[in-house]
Amino acid sequence: MKAMAVEKPAPIEREPLQAIELPIPEPAGGEILIRVKRCGVCRTDLHIAEGDLALHRPCIVPGHEVIGIVERCGDGASRFRSGTRVGIAWLRSTCGTCRYCTTGRENLCPYATFTGWDQNGGYAEFATVREDFAYAIPDGLDDEHAAPLLCAGIIGFRSIRRAEVKPGATVGLYGFGGSAHLAMQVLKHWGCRVFVMSRGGRHRELAEELGADWIGGAEDLPPARLDAAILFAPAGEIVPAAMAALDRGGTLAIAGIHLSQIPPLDYAKHLFEERQLRSVTANTRADGEEFLRIAAEIPIRTRTLALPLAEANRALVMLKHDELKGAAVLEIR
């Protein structure tokens, strides 16, 4: 099968993703084999390609926003029939028995594995996954527009929960790309006032199209104090400004898996009056299922740019340099 893999990380401009041929994987017991139709392009893929996240295995195939069709089921796998449309997300497996898994916090499982990092992902014609970690995809969403929901959407939703957003709240979004434009649609559905802090022209245009109540720069003070904020940009230097914009009792959730260094925080200015700073670590399957249900109800409209698999490097270059208005999606033929 055709695949795009990272053997030696490098700046994405040097095209670290290489076209290779791999055997079609065999589904193990309890797994399903998926013929990949589309795979969304995520900033985590960029971090893996460039070495911000150390490779967990050599010659890894990235991609964890996977939409495809069940081709074959391994022994004991009976949840999905052949021909069913399913999705694969970032969280690939957990132990199921540790104190995190047994208390509804499987995203913190120390034995968790991740798609496109620990095992090959969706920048390929086929992929496998445990059937209990695959998602049923709601009707009404085509493959291209459903793909980004599997990470950008789910992680944005997890971030909303971590920021303790309530319906009608005033929320700040710092950085406005593939994940933020999906989170914003949930927030507007909940009647929230949304302020967007973004440097990119395309991103600002998209924020305006989606009904942002105010748009400014990362260092700008929004027109009202924030009940909650989410940092989508992997830029630690934004944290002090976001914390300073919070109202008393407000929470800033950091959505990314990688963040540059955070400057020193001033206790009185940034943290006093019970302001909180929280990270977001992967997601639970319950997060994914709840988000996909809400996405179908709204319904969420994903802004996408479709590119062929062979142009995975180009897609990541565009992501790195803020040239995407929404999310890139690879077409797997």
Q: How does DSSP assign 75-136, residue by residue?
A: TT--SS-TT-EEEE-SEEE--S-STTGGGT-GGG-TT-EEBTTTB--SSBSEEEEEGGGEEE
Query: How many angstroms separate the CA atoms of 64 and 83, rounded?
Result: 20
- The DSSP bridge pattern shows strands 170-174 and 85-88 to be unpaired
Give the pLDDT of residue 253. 98
What pTM value is reported for the model?
Answer: 0.93
Contact 201, 258 (CB under 8 A): no
φ, ψ for residue 39 (rounded to 5)? -140, 120
Answer yes or no: same fold for 2-151+282-331 and 154-279. no
Give the pLDDT of residue 202. 85
CATH architecture of 2-151+282-331: Alpha-Beta Complex (3.90)
Within the chain, which residues score under 50 in pLDDT? none
Give the pLDDT of residue 203. 87
> Which single residue is written with the structure tokens 């109202």?
247
Query: How many angstroms separate the CA atoms of 296 and 281, rounded?
Result: 24
Domain map (residue ranges) of the chain = 2-151+282-331, 154-279
CA distances from residue 323 to 54, 78, 115, 129, 330 in whole angstroms, order as listed:
26, 42, 25, 32, 16
Reported for 10-14, long-range contacts at CB under 8 A and 24+ positions apart, including other chains, are 10/49, 10/50, 10/51, 11/50, 12/46, 12/49, 12/50, 12/313, 12/316, 12/317, 12/320, 13/317
Query: Going by C-beta distance under 8 Å and a sequence separation of 6 or more, which residues neighbour residue 42?
Result: 63, 64, 65, 151, 152, 178
How many CB atoms are located within 10 Å of the residue 161 CB? Answer: 14
Evaluate whether the domain defined by 154-279 bears CATH number 3.40.50.720: yes
Structure confidence by residue, pLDDT tens digits, 70-85 = 999 999 999 999 999 9
Structure tokens at 241: 């400004």
Give the pLDDT of residue 65. 98
